[in-house]
Amino acid sequence: MAGGVALADVEAPTLVQPLGAASAQATPPASSGRGGRIARMGVAFVAGAALVAGGFGVAQLTQDDLATTDAPVVEVSAPPSESAQSEDAGAGPSSSASPPPVAGELEPAAFVAQILGPSVVQVETDLGLGSGVVFRDGLVMTNQHVIADSSQIQIRTSDGRTFETTLVGSDARNDIAVLRVADGANLPVAQLSPDAPVVGQFTVAIGSPFQLQQTVTSGIVSALNRPVPNQVGGYNAMLQTDTAINPGNSGGALADRAGRVIGINTSIRTDGTSNSNVGIGFAVPISTALNVADRILAGEALDPGVLGVSGSTRDGQVGVLVEEVTSGGAAEAAGLQSGDRILTVNGAPVTTFDELAGLVQSNFSGDTVELVVERDGQSEPIILTAVLN
């Protein structure tokens, strides 16, 4: 990767290579038309009925095209009892005292569908359609691009009920928004996984692709900490999955075999010519999504974290070689020096500068990150703690 790209300015457009204009049929978000570094490849958000090939467009439905029904969309089992909800996941009251299904009695994907399905909702706006996850009592998490520029937002539950919502807040950089549902909805709350995901683990996605509510697909975690361009010109460290996600899945759940949410489905890689799923999807890790949601609910600032370095991997060695340290920045304060090689950020391996950018930019100003650094003359790597600017 080319060096000289400074993490001192996390929103610098030089972090993303343009891949052409968004489709004229789409309503793109701000700073659209950006994608990855592979020729004719693009990353498209999955919020509407069609993807925009080769760019960061958000194809949205018109209200006339939004086919909905007041009848139940699918038959689902009762949500898990209140005692089965995890307190650590911020669980709220359940709408039923019926016991949940037992793992081993059903196929893994069927088990997840019954456990998690009632907590995944369809998000309907005056501009389009997406998905959402009830992550706390009366609160729904979705993608920012699902509700962007909308004047009306409602949710539809798995049994066909609709509820008006209010937007609590959103973060375009991490593509997370929080909706508050009217009192009395009594929606079942999803369990959120406290465990770090593992490459190769089983996954299930639930959402509303192409307006098909409560669609369930399965796959695996394909990779961790993939640097994916975001809406504001930076990078985010994302989960990669081969679980099929399509337009309308945005904001929906990516879960483990226990039915615990590990990510919020957000975008897919396209080949620049086709709008279909090609087996490469991306989800915001639930740890990141929950951190964003908590900051929104607390009214805290969402300013991105800044490390303050430039570097490269041009020498073919492991890690990112630091070429310059910004004066007065977080890296300098932590003791990072030109010539150091950053090996990991918070335990995650760094193999490209884009990965370093994604891992740093998924944090906020004031957050602390731990860097494992190789320094000439040292027999063992050193550990530095940086408080991001």
Active site residues: 145, 175, 250
Distant-in-sequence, close-in-space partners of 199: CB < 8 Å, separation ≥ 6: 220, 221, 222, 223, 224
The rounded distance, in Å, linking the Cα atoms of 263 and 116 is: 13
The rounded distance, in Å, linking the Cα atoms of 32 and 58 is: 8
Instruction: Choose among 277, 275, 271: nearest CA to 40.
Output: 271
Largest CA distance in the chain: 69
The rounded distance, in Å, linking the Cα atoms of 179 and 133 is: 10
Instruction: Choose among 177, 155, 176, 180: nearest CA to 166.
Output: 180
3-class secondary structure per residue, 165-179: EEEEEEECCCCEEEE
The rounded distance, in Å, linking the Cα atoms of 343 and 346 is: 10
The rounded distance, in Å, linking the Cα atoms of 333 and 12 is: 22
Per-residue DSSP letter, 9: S
Which pair of structure tokens corresponds to residue 63?
A: 């209200």
- Give the 3-state secondary structure of residue 136: strand
Instruction: Choose among 324, 370, 378: nearest CA to 350.
Output: 370
The rounded distance, in Å, linking the Cα atoms of 123 and 153 is: 7
- The burial class, CB within 10 Å (0-12 / 13-18 / 19+), for 352 is middle
